[in-house]
Amino acid sequence: MVNLEHNFSSCNELANSLANEIAEKLKEAIKKDGKASIALSGGSTPKKCLTNLAN
């Protein structure tokens, strides 16, 4: 198991970083398999991340 620790100075920085990481993983899956799927929780918790991911 790999333990990673990230420190972010703001919620926006966290949301941007997470959206970028998700986008990269999706791109890798599409390149490899021609498609990708993702399931995310709803509600207000991931809202900033999802907004950034959509852009």
pLDDT single digits (tens) 6-55: 899 998 899 899 999 999 999 999 999 999 999 988 777 788 888 888 88
Band of residue 5 on the pLDDT scale cut at 50, 70, 90: confident
Q: What is the pLDDT of residue 37?
A: 94
Question: Residue 24 corresponds to which tokens in the numbers above?
Answer: 């990269």
Question: Residue 14 corresponds to which tokens in the numbers above?
Answer: 């966290």
Please, which residues have CB within 8 angstroms of residue 40's CB and are 6 or more apart in sequence?
Answer: 46, 50
Please, which residues have CB within 8 angstroms of residue 34's CB and are 6 or more apart in sequence?
Answer: none
- The reported pTM is 0.79
Do the Cβ atoms of 1 and 32 come closer than 8 Å? no
Q: What is the pLDDT of residue 27?
A: 96
Q: Is the pLDDT of residue 4 over 90?
A: no
Do the Cβ atoms of 52 and 15 come closer than 8 Å? yes
